[in-house]
Structure 1
């Protein structure tokens, strides 16, 4: 099973679907983080996490400044996705939900562009799974009403996921990132 995860930021792959990656080590995972390639802190952490999870890690440098620059997803996200992932047909692609999990603009833009590329046939996959969470800014996340698939994590898997966020990415126990690591992991599933 060839699976691509397309996310805005290094750490999104663990927060939103790290448990699935832990449960399915036999899948061939490729993770594309669209932001932070030039970040001397986050890039090496992302690369180490992908290695730890048995995934191929790819990273680009889409704007992720504190005040996000206006972008055109078709011009700024689409070509990056196709450059990294457009060379093959995937069994499953996972990406952000239409609500951006907690409303993050780049998450919503990535969702919109991945869906556009799939609909146009420029990106090919049998199945699209989008993250299906409704989260508060304090990290309290619950399954979205859009969720059609729920992946319960064992206590060991959930703790491993949180450990990766704490120990590899360096987030504190009370951070949004650790709090947002929940079980079950939730997805909305679409046949492409």
Structure 2
């Protein structure tokens, strides 16, 4: 386990995203000072309570906001998502900033994409400062299989059996997802990130991936 102290902020769209996509990394870095900001579901009492328990489990601090997350998934104003992101964070300076990929982790979730865009643009503008930006790196073959870590051109780590089981237990025992649920069956055994130290390179990726998104693909 890595015990180097770093100040880390994680910005996710939903409670459980922090565990699914980077939970093993958190488990293996107990020395990190972690803040987890969640942009949706603040008013969902059950999900909010479970998110609080997960924060305690990770030894992290955190906060939730209440961006619309209804089934219609209508686009949200870019400025609003950025404002909510800034409101979530306890300060503006971090060693590592972690969030979604501009194309999400699976096909397709608008709130994941919007969260990523907000964080990248805030980092690029200097409104959030971090030495590194890490973007989740997963794909699902356009719904052909459960999301899996990208293994080429990114930083990809295979979780130990104990770390993966620990993460899986958070998903099934704290969040309470059934063993045959999408979340439980997805829980990745590899975790992958695109890592950046230059904001302009992250902004370039945002531009490229946004251009690839097929607007005819349904969004969930």
Question: Residue 150 in 1 paired to residue 153 in 2?
Answer: no
Please state how far the C-alpha of 1:87 moved relative to its aligned partner.
Answer: 2.3
In the alignment, which residue of structure 1 is the partner of 2:18? 13
In the alignment, which residue of structure 2 is the partner of 1:41? 46
TM-score normalised to structure 2 length:
0.82
Please state how far the C-alpha of 1:69 moved relative to its aligned partner.
Answer: 3.0
TM-score normalised to structure 1 length:
0.94
8 Å Cα contact 2:150/2:156 also seen in 1:
no
**Higher strand proportion:** 1
RMSD over aligned CA atoms reads 1.6
Say which one has the larger Rg: 2
After superposing on structure 2, the runs of 4+ consecutive aligned residues of structure 1 that deviate more than 4 Å are 136-139
Please state how far the C-alpha of 1:183 moved relative to its aligned partner.
Answer: 1.9
Please state how far the C-alpha of 1:140 moved relative to its aligned partner.
Answer: 1.6
5+ residue gaps, structure 1, are none
Question: Residue 56 in 1 paired to residue 77 in 2?
Answer: no
* Residues 36-71 of structure 1, C-alpha deviations (whole Å, 9 max, x = no match): 111011000000011011110210001101112331
Total equivalences in the alignment: 191
Taking the TM superposition and a 5 Å limit, the aligned residue runs for 1:90-169 are 90-102=94-106, 103-135=108-140, 137=143, 140-144=146-150, 147-169=153-175
Question: Residue 83 in 1 paired to residue 87 in 2?
Answer: yes
